[in-house]
Amino acid sequence: MEEIYVAPELLELFESVKHISDTWRQDLAVASIISKIFEDNQVTVPIVVGGLVVATYTQGLYKTRDIDLIAVNTDFPYRVMEQLGYVRVDSKDCFNPDMNSIVEFPSGKYSGSYERVLEYEVEETGFVIHVQGMEDIILDRIESYSATFDQRSLEWATKMMGAMYDHLDWSYCHSQASQRNIIKEFDDVQHSVKRYKDNYEKMMDKVNEQLKARRKK
């Protein structure tokens, strides 16, 4: 079994990450160090998916302590986690008691588009992580709601769609929603968000008109 190389400065950096008080920023830093170790060992860098992606697109408003990484389907990820003081607690999860940190390596292939994966530089480490694209995380949350009626998934899909509305690839979204058999749920969320967005814009137009009228007086 080939030995995993972990640079000593990475282990020192990881120790300093334990003292980051903001759990969202701490999780990003952990994910970035893991990604750097993969890169240093010439192994395909994992893709961050799930709750940490929602937290990142909402600047920490969404709360989670799970770091979900789609990685190579070998024992390599778990050997990396051992180097960082994590204990494997089941077939997919690793736990670090010092930080109450959970890292999961979900089974199966990445369900989103690799072309839409974004690079995000983590300020605390200077390293880059690969983050699930914004269309795909919204689709995943709506798919979760469709399967489980989880209201939290619906809530955050709606919030992210509203925040990113003018930047989403709607053609891709509708195509993927159809393939996932969630087109009705997706359309319902989109119509709700668009109605709110239109009403908000109309309200702001009236506010701006009133402000202009006041300035002329």
Domain coordinates in residue numbering, the chain:
1-132, 137-217
Residue 1 has a pLDDT of 62
- Do residues 60 and 50 touch, judged by C-beta distance below 8 A? no
Residue 207 has a pLDDT of 75
**How does pLDDT run along the chain (217 residues), one tens digit per residue?**
678 999 999 999 999 999 999 999 999 999 999 999 999 999 999 999 999 999 999 999 999 989 999 999 999 999 999 999 999 998 899 999 999 999 999 988 899 999 999 999 999 999 999 999 999 999 999 999 999 999 999 999 999 999 999 999 999 999 999 999 999 999 999 999 999 888 867 777 777 777 777 777 6
What global pTM score does this model have?
0.89
Residues with Cβ within 8 Å of residue 118, at least 6 apart in sequence: 130, 131, 133, 134
Maximal C-alpha separation, the chain: 80
Task: Give 1-132's CATH code, choosing from 1.10.150, 3.30.460, 1.20.120, 3.30.1360.
Answer: 3.30.460
Residue 157: both structure tokens together: 């899909």
- Strand-pairing partners, residue 96, are 101
- Please give the DSSP secondary-structure letter assigned to residue 144: H
Residue 14 has a pLDDT of 97
Residue 206 has a pLDDT of 76
